[in-house]
Each structure stands twice: as C-alpha cells, then as structure tokens.
A and B are shown apart, each in its own frame.
Chain A
Amino acid sequence: MKRLLEVRDVSRHFGGNAAVDHVSLDVFDGEAVGLIGSNGAGKTTLFRMIAGELALSGGRIEFDATSLPHRPDQRARLGIARTFQIVQLFGGLSVLDHLLVALQAHEGRQGPMRDVLWKGSSTPEEEQRCLETLRLCGLSDVADAPATALGLGERRAVELARALVVRPRLLLADEPSSGLDAHEAARLARVIALARRETGLAVLLVEHDLHMVEAIAERVIAMDAGRVIAQGTFDAVLHDESVIASWLGRSA
C-alpha cells in the first residue's frame, strides 16, 4: 500500500502550551485509522493543521509524497475533505446546494466569470452525482430542505455528504457521532464504510465512541496531552498500559 498522508514531528503551541507535541503518524491509501484520546489531547488541533486551517509550529505534513499547499481550499481540491466537531453548515442553502457548492468548487466550475458567461447553472451530471451521494447518505428525502433546519443526525449526515460528494482521497472526520444516539451513529458508520468500499477512500477518524472506532478503523492511534502514546490494532491499543493509565488518570 502507498503512503497517502505523512505527518512528521508536527507540533503546535498556543502561547507556552503545546497542544500538539512532536506527533508523527501515517495514513495509507484506502486505510481507515481511528484517532482516540481524552478531551484536549490535541486531536482537533492536528486535524486543523492537516486541513490547512492552522499553521504548524514545527514539523512537516506530506500528502501523496508531496508537500501540501498552504490554504485549506487548495488542500480540499487536492482531495482532503473534512467534517467538523461543531457542525459547519451553510445557513440559507438547501441540502442539495451544499453538495453543489463543494462539487463545483472541486471541479473548478465556480466563480463570477462562469456565471456571467451564462454557464452558471448546474449541469445534469453534477446534479446526478449530488443525488447519488445524497442517496448514499440517506438524505434523498430532504434534498430541497434548508439544511440548518434539520435535526443534528441529519445535519451531520449533510456534512458527511458534502465531504464525500467530491470523492476525496482522505476524509478527516472529527467526532461524527458526537451528540447522536446509537442508531444514528451506526447509520453514519455504515455510510462511511459504504463510501470506502465504493471509492477506496482513506479515513482518519476522531471519535470518543469506541464502537464506531471498532466498526470503522483498521488501526488505532491514541493521543494524550499532545503526544501519540500508542498505536496498533484496536485491541492492542485498548490494552496498552499507557492508554489505560491515561484514562484512569483522567477519570480518577
């Protein structure tokens, strides 16, 4: 398998406080990796650096064996998609429009010049692809509804659909199940599994829900206080001494 994402010695300080501290990890093509760790371990910070939202204090990140461009939108167009811990939807747009925005941006078919030259309406192929993704995510019935009016489970599904519609190579999913009930979480897990089977995308999944991690991830990385403390199979990591110590330490 080819290495898709390579994170080497990456750090990020906020003031004097190291939120991410010399972290190295790899994600291989088509692989699903779970990233677990207690609150404040630095998981979201790491995601933000991979996505280009936050500058690195040190280290380097490579994607597909080349260094990444700076801005988040450039990285998105290279095939890094993400969902957010706090859902980031577009108030005022319908569910279908969420996918169209992402798809047209990805294909470079977006902007004033296009619209003025009368090429602004969405093509049948674009709509077709959006509808397919909506079906995959179980959102066909609400395609024309304003997305922000949906329930949390569906809003998380919209975010996932928006990420998946461009057929990304790497999906960064930040706690997709947070705030959902077991049923909704299981549905999202199924969607991710289906998408992986169809497009062979790689997934880096931050999750507190260990069932979901077990269901999706082939490999697990545990972080604590900004450092990677263990990695390996799900069982191996859960039985790792430092992981247990860190959890017990937190709950004591």
Chain B
Amino acid sequence: MGVFFGYVLASIPYGCAFSLVAVGLVLTYRATGVFNFAFAAEAYAATVVYSELISHGVQRGWAAAIVVCVIAPVFGALLDFGLFSRIAPGNRTAKTIMALGLTVILPQIVETAVPSNPPVPPAPFFSTSFIPVWRIGGDPVFGSAICEVAGTILVLIGLVLLLRTRRFGLPIRAAVESPKLLELSGVDARWVLRFAWMISTALAAVAGVLYQVGSGATVDPQNYDLLLVVSIAAAALAGLRNLPIAALGGVLLGLAEGLVQGYVPSSSIWYPALVPSLPFLFLLVLLIFHPTLRHLEDTIDPMASIEPPPPVPAVAMRPPIVDRTIRRMRWPFLGVVVFGVILFVPADWTEALTEGAALSIVFLSITLLTGLAGQLSLAQWMFAGIGAFTTAQLAENRHWPILLAALAGALVAGVAGLVAALPALRLRGLPVALLTLCLALLGDDLLFPTSWVSNGTSGVPVPRPSSIFGIDFSSVDSEGFFVLTVVVMIAVAGIVHLLLRGTTGRALTAVHASPIGASSSGVQIRRMTILVFMLSASIAGLGGAFYAMNQQTVSQDSFVYYFGPIYLVVVVTIGATTVEGAITAGMAFALINNALMNVPQSVGGTQLHSTALTVILLSLGAFTYAKHPEGIVEYAKRRLAKTVFRAVEHNDHPLVSAEDSA
C-alpha cells in the first residue's frame, strides 16, 4: 500500500502537466483547426522565463509563476495576431507547417536569448515546498505535490467556469463543437480564435512550470519529449475532441507511467527499453486504431456539409520558360561550382559543402514525400540515422567496403520506411505527422542509444571511401569525397526529378487533391504510397550515410529527432516541390551554419548558437508558407521569370513564341 502511494505521489506532477497540455491541445485544435505542436516549446519557454525571473530578482517562486501566467496569454494573443490569424481557415497544411515552424524556432530563440540556462533546477513556488506536510502510509507528501494538484484543479475549474460564461465560453464551446456553426451564428470568429490561443498558451505555460518544478530536474528542452508524447496521447485518447477525457486521460497516463516505472524492477532487461517506450507504443496504437483519428481529416465539423469546403487555391503553374532556363543552366552552373570548390576553397569549407550535399540528399527525400506525396513526415532524419548507423556498423564490424555498406544502409532505411508507410496507409494529414514524430522519438530515445547501434556513448567511426572504379583520391581526401558526394546527390536529384515530372508526380498530385477522384480513376494509391515512402526513406538513409562519412564518425547524438521537424520546415520553406529547392536548402543550411561557426568567439559566436541561428534564419520563412506554398526559391524564380518574360515579350515577341512552339 505504502509503495503504491509512493508511486502515485511521484507521478502527480507529470499527470497534472499532461492533463493541462492535453486540454490545451484539444481546445486549440477544435477551435482553430491548428494542432499546436508548439505547446511543448511554449511550455519550455515559460519555464525558462520562470527561472530567469527568479534568478533576476523575483525572490518568490509563486510570484514568478504569476508573472508567467500573465505573460503567456499575451504571447498567445500575439501568436494568433501575428501568425495564425493570417492563414485562411481551410488551409490546414499551412497551419501545421506554421505550428511546426514555431516548435522549431521557439526553443532556439530561447537558447540564443538565454545562453546559460541555470544548471540548477528552478526554485519551487514556496520555500517550504519540500517539507513533508503529512504522511500516507509512511510516505511523505510534500507541499509541492499539494501545490501542483491544487494548481491544476484550480486551473481546470477556472477553465470550466470560463467556458460556462455566456460571453467568453459560449462562442468557444460552439467553436469546439462546430466552427461552421459559429461562423453562421454571426459571432466574430477572429476574436474567439484569439481567445482560444490565449487560453491554450496559458495552459501550456502553467503545465510547463508545474512539470519542471515538480520533477525537480534542470531545465532542458529534451525533458519535454515525454510531455510532448504523453500529452499527444491523452489528446488522441480524447479523439482530439472531448475535453474532459483529455483532462482525465492526462492524469491517468501520468499515473500509469509512474506505476510502470515503479513496479518494473529497474534491474530487469525490460526497464531500459520498455519503460520509456510505453507512451510511444500507446500513442502508436491509438493513432492506428482510434476510429475518430482515422477519419480526422475527413470531417470534424457536423455542420461542414452545409457548404462545400472552399476550393484549395490552385498553385500557379510554372511558366515553361523557367523550366527551359533551368534545363540549360544547370550543368554549366554545377561545373563552375565543383571546379571552383576543388581549386579555390579551403578544406573546412569543402567539408561544409560536402555536408551540404549530403544534407541535400536527405532533403530530396522530403521533396519526394512532402512535396510530391503531400505527407508530412517528421521522421526523415531518423531514417537518415538508420542509414548512417547501418553503414557504420557494416563497415566497422563486418569490414564491408564503405560504399557497399552505404547502399545497404539505404536499403535498411527503406525497410524502416515500410514500417512507417503501413500505418500511413490508413491515415492522412495530421495523424501521419504525429505518427512519424512518434517514430522519430522512438528512434532517438531507444534505437540509437543502444550499444549494438551506436557503441554506447563512444560512437562508431565511419571511413570515407578512398577510391572508386579504380580512381584513387586518397591524397585529395576532402575534395575527392566532395566530388563523390555531389555526384551521388546529382544522381538522386535526377531520380527525384524523374518521379516529380513522371507518372508518379502526376498521380500523386491527383491523390493529394482528391483521393476519391483518384481512386475512382484507377490510381493505385496504396501501392504508390508504400513505394514512395520506402524510396524516400532509403534516399534519406543514403544521405545519412554520406553525412556520417563526412563527419567520419557517428554517435547517438548525430541524429537528434528534433532535426526531423526542423529540416522539414526548412525544406518546405525553401521549396519542397522541386529538386533545386532541396539542394538550395541543404547547401544553405551547411554554409550558413559554417559561416556562423567561424564568427570569432569575441563577437559571441559559439557552435550551439550557430546551429540555432541557422535554424531560425532558414525557417522563418515557414510563416510565408500560407502565401507561397511552392517555397521561396520557386517563388523567386517565378517572379524573375515573369519579369524577364515580360521584358522579352515586349521587345521580341515573335522570337519567344517561336521558341515556345519548338
């Protein structure tokens, strides 16, 4: 009995936080149509603000908590005002991308702005928090636990009361039931949405502070993985619609987590693998089998059929002159770049360029899956990791030639892609993003740290090839490897280009636009989805292998899961519909990162911040996605083409049309 209560008590801060976040997730999703991936980032930011307040003069924890509670809704209102309210209501993909962008950027901004996170756990609300208040069966009940339970209950009661008021609550409840109904009723929907954002940001902030203070750990964005997964699971349990179930689900999942952690003996072989993976597996099962989630994207609004949904804005077709110009310019351009690099560029920049080429290969897998098939996969970086580790292990332990090992790595990653593709067959849109996020977290937390994958913390060395087809380039190691990587990148880009422009591209565009229209035309959606998923995963795996060869080692920190969403956002921002977009993104990422890394320490450059800044720079464009879903590279090209085309047309009309008909 006493032991049981001990575990229950230990799980209280978790359960409370899960519950609050799940409620916030459901509330925003239903009211605004955005699945707010950023809530974990918001929770983290709130915690950092809390600790900063305490270390900068606000003596009392409870006072800092109140300040956070005031700042958070204002921040939520700003988010809606500045970002989400600018997107048309029906454009779910744009909203998801924007929420992902926020998830990616917010922690980076926080880390840049507050460079030295205090390595101590944030102070409790009251100085007496860790004095036992009373005992249950010999277990001390601390003041902090009481604070947390009381805080959560207060917040939930406040929320219920708020939702019951006529003025604030009624419109929100109406929005949760049916956004359409709300619109028809003539209430100013914009205001309601803003209010929903304020509430859910406040919930995320409160949850973050409770979670952090209660767990007594130091502030670290990584600690939010569990918060992320379990809250999503609780929200999923509620079918993303039922607020009480979400609240209850959070508490129960927190409890379950605590009990499992307590009762499975830590010496058992299950402990290191099973215990952390339980929430993932639970979420996975929910995503695949929960009936509401399977049809999430079909209809969520009982009144939706009153009017047909607004037509998806037709993406302007690319003027043919753009294609022609690119077709003519690409080889000379590439030639100049490659020779320029070989002749003039110092070694560390050559390595950066090689990294860019390897990243480009990984990004091309995103072009294939997201740009072409319209599936938001957050697991591409994990597939890259699978490719890299397979390559490294085969080369190191089985002494395979490295390039053969890289091919095998691509194959293994492709098989892993099958694992993601099978559930994705039954799901579309948001659930696929959640599912792949779940897989990515599983890979990062469970697969990559195991010793037979990454040799523990020491990592696995990855040799670079020194010759191919008898051409030995071991004496010009970095240049030779650069050329090899670029050649592979071009080959992959060629394949992706063929798919984009060929039968697959056309068919998948059709599937994306109208699944029933496509299947009634005979398009084999399932087969094509599986093949594209597998192909995309193996391309990512190949890119990962080259990335690891360039680094010459691969360790469990080489493929951190959150780069999955980061890279997705970067590629989509820069252009996920063309191969040039992916290559531009890969090169830009590596080069900007390297440039920032070379900023002298005195100006404030450190490695951590160079990556953070790169991410911020490159993904800010996520906020333009709603207007330019084709990406900024493509947008710029079309603008340029239009200008040029117009100029040419004016001077020289017959020539252009003669060329057009050629």
Chain A residues in the interface with B (C-beta under 8 A): 51, 53, 71-73, 76-77, 81-82, 84, 86, 88-94, 97-98, 100-102, 104-106, 109-116, 118, 120-122, 146, 148-149, 162-163, 166
**How distant is the Cα of A123 from the Cα of B519 in the complex, in angstroms?**
22
Inter-chain contacts of B535 with A (CB < 8 A) = 112
- Contact yes or no, A112 B312, CB < 8 A: no
- Contact yes or no, B513 A92, CB < 8 A: yes
Taking a contact as CB atoms closer than 8 A, the residue among A105, A114, A122, A149 that contacts B522 in the complex is A105
- Contact yes or no, A110 B317, CB < 8 A: no
Q: When A and B form their complex, what is the total count of cross-chain residue pairs whose Cβ atoms lie within 8 Å? A: 134
Inter-chain contacts of B531 with A (CB < 8 A) = 111-113
* B447 beta carbon closer than 8 Å to chain A: no
- Contact yes or no, A104 B503, CB < 8 A: yes
Chain B residues in the interface with A (C-beta under 8 A): 308, 311-312, 314-315, 317, 495, 498-499, 501-507, 509-510, 512-514, 516-528, 531-532, 535
Known: A90-B510, A92-B315. Contact between A111 and B521, CB under 8 A?
no
Inter-chain contacts of B312 with A (CB < 8 A) = 91, 148
- Contact yes or no, B495 A116, CB < 8 A: yes
Inter-chain contacts of A111 with B (CB < 8 A) = 503-504, 507, 524, 527-528, 531
- Contact yes or no, A146 B317, CB < 8 A: yes
A102 to chain B, nearest CB (A): 4
B624 to chain A, nearest CB (A): 19
- Contact yes or no, B504 A81, CB < 8 A: no
Inter-chain contacts of A98 with B (CB < 8 A) = 510
15 chain-A/chain-B pairs, Cβ below 8 angstroms: A53-B516, A71-B526, A72-B519, A73-B521, A73-B522, A84-B517, A88-B517, A89-B513, A90-B509, A97-B509, A98-B510, A102-B521, A104-B506, A110-B524, A122-B503
**How distant is the Cα of A109 from the Cα of B504 in the complex, in angstroms?**
10
Inter-chain contacts of B498 with A (CB < 8 A) = 115-116, 118, 120
Known: A90-B514, A112-B532, A115-B499. Contact between A76 and B519, CB under 8 A?
yes
- Contact yes or no, A88 B519, CB < 8 A: no
Inter-chain contacts of A112 with B (CB < 8 A) = 499, 504, 528, 531-532, 535
B274 to chain A, nearest CB (A): 37
**How distant is the Cα of A51 from the Cα of B505 in the complex, in angstroms?**
25
Inter-chain contacts of B527 with A (CB < 8 A) = 111
A134 to chain B, nearest CB (A): 16
- Contact yes or no, B503 A76, CB < 8 A: no
Residue of B nearest to A122 (CB): B503
Which one of A72, A118, A149 has the greatest number of beta carbons of chain B within 10 Å? A72
A127 to chain B, nearest CB (A): 13
A220 to chain B, nearest CB (A): 24
- Nearest first, the 3 closest Cβ-Cβ pairs linking A and B are A120-B502, A88-B517, A115-B502
Residue of B nearest to A48 (CB): B516
**How distant is the Cα of A116 from the Cα of B368 in the complex, in angstroms?**
13
- Contact yes or no, A73 B519, CB < 8 A: yes
Residue of B nearest to A78 (CB): B522
**How distant is the Cα of A82 from the Cα of B535 in the complex, in angstroms?**
32
**How distant is the Cα of A166 from the Cα of B521 in the complex, in angstroms?**
9
Known: A101-B521, A101-B523. Contact between A120 and B317, CB under 8 A?
no
Inter-chain contacts of A76 with B (CB < 8 A) = 519-522
Residue of A nearest to B311 (CB): A148
- Contact yes or no, A72 B504, CB < 8 A: no
- Contact yes or no, B503 A114, CB < 8 A: yes
Residue of A nearest to B313 (CB): A91
Which one of B495, B523, B528 has the greatest number of beta carbons of chain A within 10 Å? B523
- Contact yes or no, B517 A71, CB < 8 A: no
Inter-chain contacts of B518 with A (CB < 8 A) = 73, 90, 101
**How distant is the Cα of A89 from the Cα of B512 in the complex, in angstroms?**
11
**Besides A111-B524, A122-B503, 13 new A-B residue pairs in contact (Cβ under 8 A), listed by A number:** A73-B518, A76-B521, A81-B521, A88-B514, A89-B514, A98-B510, A102-B523, A105-B507, A105-B524, A110-B504, A110-B507, A120-B501, A120-B503
- Contact yes or no, B314 A92, CB < 8 A: yes
- Contact yes or no, B532 A101, CB < 8 A: no
- Contact yes or no, A91 B520, CB < 8 A: no
**How distant is the Cα of A102 from the Cα of B506 in the complex, in angstroms?**
10
- Contact yes or no, B528 A86, CB < 8 A: no
Inter-chain contacts of A162 with B (CB < 8 A) = 521
B131 to chain A, nearest CB (A): 57
Inter-chain contacts of B311 with A (CB < 8 A) = 91, 148
- Contact yes or no, B507 A104, CB < 8 A: yes
B326 to chain A, nearest CB (A): 17
- Contact yes or no, A72 B524, CB < 8 A: no
Residue of B nearest to A168 (CB): B522
- Contact yes or no, A72 B513, CB < 8 A: no
- Contact yes or no, B520 A148, CB < 8 A: no
Known: A93-B509, A93-B510. Contact between A115 and B504, CB under 8 A?
yes
- Contact yes or no, A115 B503, CB < 8 A: yes
**How distant is the Cα of A113 from the Cα of B532 in the complex, in angstroms?**
10
B144 to chain A, nearest CB (A): 49
- Contact yes or no, A92 B521, CB < 8 A: no
Inter-chain contacts of B506 with A (CB < 8 A) = 93, 97, 100-101, 104
Inter-chain contacts of A53 with B (CB < 8 A) = 516, 519-520
Taking a contact as CB atoms closer than 8 A, the residue among A89, A92, A146 that contacts B517 in the complex is A89
Inter-chain contacts of A146 with B (CB < 8 A) = 314, 317
Inter-chain contacts of B499 with A (CB < 8 A) = 112, 115-116, 120
